[in-house]
Amino acid sequence: MSTFDSDYKFETYEEFYGDIQQVQQLIDACQICGSRLMINHLTDYTNLLVQESAICPECGNKNRKKVHVLN
């Protein structure tokens, strides 16, 4: 885990709540301006992790980063 920035966090389903549209909006939309986010995935095959980052093309918000564990 030491290869990732400390502000990365593991995805937990507990943080998603509400109906599917609310969840989808939480995933895809900028929480500041509501624009669709550009999401990048970097796969780390050595550690079997996917590092996800999202940036808003409108306001530059990029506060969402997650690490997925590949199973």
Task: Show the CA angle centred on residue 58, arms to residues 24 and 56, nearest 5°.
Answer: 45
For Zn ion, the closer of residues 50 and 55 by Cβ is: 55
Q: Per rule CB under 5 A, is residue 30 in the interface with Zn ion?
A: yes
Say how far apart CA 51 and CA 12 lie, in whole Å: 14
Instruction: Kindly state the greatest CA–CA separation across the chain.
Output: 36
Q: Per rule CB under 5 A, is residue 47 in the interface with Zn ion?
A: no
**Residue from 27, 59, 69, 70 in contact with Zn ion (CB under 5 A):** 59
Residues that bind Zn ion in the complex, under the rule CB under 5 A? 30, 32-33, 35, 56, 58-59, 61
